[in-house]
Structure 1
Amino acid sequence: MPYRVVKVKEAAANRSSQPQARQRRQRADAAQNVSAILQAATEVLSTQPEASVEDIARAAGLSRQTVYAHFPSREALLNAVADRATAEAVAVFEAAGLDEAPPAQALIRLLNAGWTVSARYPFLWHLPAVSTDEDVDRHGPVLERLLGVIRRGQESGDFDRTLSPGWLLAAGLAIGRTAEEEVKAGRMTIEDATHAAHHSILRLIGVHDPAPR
């Protein structure tokens, strides 16, 4: 093949690869920006629950326009942070070895892990109230694991079988919502509400609390 033809083909290949390389850089930059925004939101909102998008953008070292390019509203950003917390909780559950532990111990591990993650996102206790369906969607992966532990405990005879797993799950979710409402109303601290919800869920399912207050 003539040298000139080879060079022309190489030049054409380089031109075609440039847009792809640019797109990869743009995707990498976008992912980095999203990570920085979510981290900044977590840190800022933990001390300033009413912080604005501009406050979060400043903490992330980005413009407000960049934040809005990824999250069209403050609500969308808060939902993304809530999703991040849920994903973190699921990762903690996976590391807790729930399937290997006896049902009662698995339930205690699950609750403890959930409260540990919740403590890293205190502003989530102050998010605007949502419908039950939205709450279930938001905590879906967590609730699935709780339901699995309840079913396993009932099948093994460790948990009371009088009430269905679905009912116990719904009641547990209601306890969590009540704890949030008490915190929002200023009647309980996050620590007290966490303890009350933890103890109530264990009592509901019929598990002895190994460390009552």
Structure 2
Amino acid sequence: MTSRTPRADSLANRAGILDAARHALATDPHASVDTIARSAGLSRRTLYGHFDDRDALIRELIVTGAQRFNGIAASVTDADPRLALARLATRLWHEAAHVQVAAAIALDEAHVTQTAEALAPLRRAVAQLVQRGQDAGSFRTDIAAPTLARLIEEVARTVVARVDASSPSAADLAVRTLLSIAGLSWREADDLLRTHPDVLESVE
């Protein structure tokens, strides 16, 4: 027996629930199912027709968000690993800044395992980028590549959770912080970003 294709209104409701959840969580990280359903203009019963519970809804947000992050990782093609890391950090920051609270929830301890699985392509891209940077002599080599990649991930996680996304200098700070962890001095990072000002431009 073949499964039926979801009806257009069902797909629209599901998309509306996810969008409402992102906005509700941005206002209140503990927003209830009732609050999210009202924000979506739907009944609680309709929401439960799409998601078994609040955790299931959060998990779906993580998966859909991860797909966007993974796509961003695939879009960075700079040959210079320093430039590639800076551009990747910028694009990921601008994406995360739009949904900073939801991103922080995805990265908290309760969801970190699932988030890591969903972001596997991004993590592989970072690991490969770090190895490439070390091989080229652009990144620090006093720390093994897998460990350095993990440190970059952890620092990025902290920046997303702690830095005020509304600050005009937030993206610049995020990029410089990750370049520093990779081994660039503040002067080297400054020179890189001054030479390539397009790196810090927002990507829609």
Tell me the TM-score normalized by structure 1. 0.71
Quick one: structure 1 residues 180 and 60, their matched pair in 2 at CA, closer, same or farther if it must change by over 3 Å?
A: same
Q: CA deviation at 1:52?
A: 1.5
Aligned to 1:109: 87
CA distance in 1, matches of 2:147, 2:54: 34
For 1:62, what is the secondary structure of its paired residue?
A: coil
CA distance in 2, matches of 1:34, 1:58: 14
CA distance in 1, matches of 2:29, 2:189: 32
AA aligned to 2:54 is: R
Question: CA offsets per residue over residues 64-92 of structure 1, 9 Å max, x none?
Answer: 11212221111221221122222222333
AA aligned to 1:107 is: L
CA distance in 1, matches of 2:164, 2:156: 14
AA aligned to 2:178 is: I
AA aligned to 1:31 is: L
More relative contact order, 1 or 2 (CA 8 Å, 6+ apart): 2
Return 5+ residue gaps in structure 1 as ranges.
1-19
Give yes or no for the alignment of 1:206 onto 2:186. no
Aligned to 1:156: 136
Quick one: structure 1 residues 41 and 131, their matched pair in 2 at CA, closer, same or farther if it must change by over 3 Å?
A: closer
Determine if contact 1:110/1:146 at 8 Å carries over to the other structure. Answer: no
CA distance in 2, matches of 1:65, 1:209: 52
CA distance in 1, matches of 2:25, 2:111: 23
Give yes or no for the alignment of 1:118 onto 2:96. yes
Determine if contact 1:179/1:193 at 8 Å carries over to the other structure. Answer: no
User: How many percent of aligned residue pairs carry the same amino acid?
Assistant: 27
**116, 141, 145: which one pairs with 2:125?**
145
Q: CA deviation at 1:111?
A: 0.4
Determine if contact 1:44/1:51 at 8 Å carries over to the other structure. Answer: yes
Return 5+ residue gaps in structure 2 as ranges.
195-204
CA distance in 2, matches of 1:34, 1:45: 16
Q: CA deviation at 1:180?
A: 5.7
Aligned to 1:58: 38
Aligned to 1:40: 20
Q: CA deviation at 1:45?
A: 2.0
CA distance in 2, matches of 1:126, 1:197: 15
Determine if contact 2:24/2:31 at 8 Å carries over to the other structure. Answer: yes
AA aligned to 1:141 is: P
Q: CA deviation at 1:189?
A: 3.5
AA aligned to 2:142 is: T
Quick one: structure 1 residues 88 and 158, their matched pair in 2 at CA, closer, same or farther if it must change by over 3 Å?
A: same
Determine if contact 1:71/1:77 at 8 Å carries over to the other structure. Answer: yes
When Rg is computed on C-alpha atoms for both structures, the one with the higher figure is 1
Quick one: structure 1 residues 134 and 195, their matched pair in 2 at CA, closer, same or farther if it must change by over 3 Å?
A: farther
Tell me the TM-score normalized by structure 2. 0.74
CA distance in 2, matches of 1:82, 1:195: 25
Aligned to 1:23: 4
Q: CA deviation at 1:110?
A: 0.4
Aligned to 2:70: 90
